[in-house]
């Protein structure tokens, strides 16, 4: 018995070479940057709890904070 061929593949979609244009890829996101930094687990937990109490995500909290900084 042979297995049926599957169209699913493993791996990152962004690494595939056959990139067709999508609405998301056509959006003007040239002005965005990803921010990545390390926090101790206890500080992350503290931040996550605070965000939940505010009814927001960590991303929303930090985005609002940065937007409020003086230029």
Instruction: Indicate the domain borders of the chain.
Output: 40-71
For residue 14, the SS3 value is helix
Q: How far apart are CA 71 and CA 69, in angstroms?
A: 6
Helices (DSSP H) in the chain: which residue ranges? 23-26, 41-54, 58-67
- For the question of whether the overall pTM of this predicted structure is more than 0.85, the answer is no
pLDDT in tens, 3-61: 666 677 777 766 666 666 666 666 655 688 999 999 999 999 999 999 999 999 999 99
């Amino acid at each position: 018995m042979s297995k049926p061929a599957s169209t699913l593949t493993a791996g990152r979609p962004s690494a595939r070479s056959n990139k067709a244009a999508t609405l998301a890829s056509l959006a003007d996101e040239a002005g965005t940057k990803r921010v990545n930094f390390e926090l101790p687990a206890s500080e992350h937990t503290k931040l996550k709890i605070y965000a939940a109490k505010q009814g927001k995500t960590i991303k929303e909290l930090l985005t609002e904070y940065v937007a409020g900084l003086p230029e």
